[in-house]
Amino acid sequence: MTSAPHPQPDPFENGSGNGDETFRSFRQAESLLAQGRPLDAVQALLPVLAERPQDASVHLLAGRAFLDSAQLSRAEAAFTRVLEIDPADHYARFALGKALQRQGRFTESLAQLRMASAMDPRPEYQDALGAVRARIAINEQE
């Protein structure tokens, strides 16, 4: 789940913040996550999160790192923050749904995955939606 299915906007386009160092930390975190090192990515992102608390793409990358390192509550919080900043981010809805699913919160997960699928009917979203629906059906039979 490390790759986002849509390009992330560059949070450093407007040149605000701590400039080059913040940019380098963000890019390092992206690279670490791509290398399968989500815990290291989280560490690289901590100063970026402090410097850029209003940037959805920073929280999205943090959420991905948290999700990949099984820090599910932190992932949930990060994806929720992205949606507070940008409610139309279908990937954040999908990822929030996955975080909720992994916590066993299937009804909440279903709601997020339905919205993500309605916003952008990608096969990955549809597959996740089907898996959660199946889990809910199994739970209802038990």
142 in a domain, yes or no? yes
5 in a domain, yes or no? no
Q: Do 38 and 53 reside in the same domain of the chain? A: yes
| Number of folded domains that form the chain | 2
Residue 12 pLDDT? 55
Around Cβ 136, how many Cβ atoms within 10 Å? 14
Q: Do 79 and 113 reside in the same domain of the chain? A: no
CA gap 18, 8 in Å, rounded: 20
Structure tokens at 91: 């990937």
Q: Do 104 and 81 reside in the same domain of the chain? A: no
Q: Do 78 and 95 reside in the same domain of the chain? A: no
4 in a domain, yes or no? no
The range of the structural domain enclosing residue 125 comes to 88-142
pLDDT digits (tens, 9 = 90+) for 40-69: 999 999 999 999 999 999 999 999 999 999
Q: Do 82 and 20 reside in the same domain of the chain? A: yes
Residue 47 pLDDT? 93
Q: Do 69 and 30 reside in the same domain of the chain? A: yes
Around Cβ 26, how many Cβ atoms within 10 Å? 25
| 50 phi/psi in degrees, rounded to 5 | -70, -40
**Cβ proximity of 61 and 26 under 8 Å:** yes
Q: Do 68 and 35 reside in the same domain of the chain? A: yes
Structure tokens at 27: 């890019």
- What's the pTM value of the predicted model, to 2 decimals? 0.85
Q: Do 104 and 82 reside in the same domain of the chain? A: no
Q: What is the CATH number of the domain that holds 32?
A: 1.25.40.10
Q: Cα dihedral sign for 67, 71, 74, 77? A: positive
Residue 19 pLDDT? 73
CA gap 82, 80 in Å, rounded: 5
Q: Do 67 and 101 reside in the same domain of the chain? A: no
Q: Do 23 and 77 reside in the same domain of the chain? A: yes
pLDDT digits (tens, 9 = 90+) for 71-126: 999 999 999 999 999 999 999 999 999 999 999 999 999 999 999 999 999 999 99
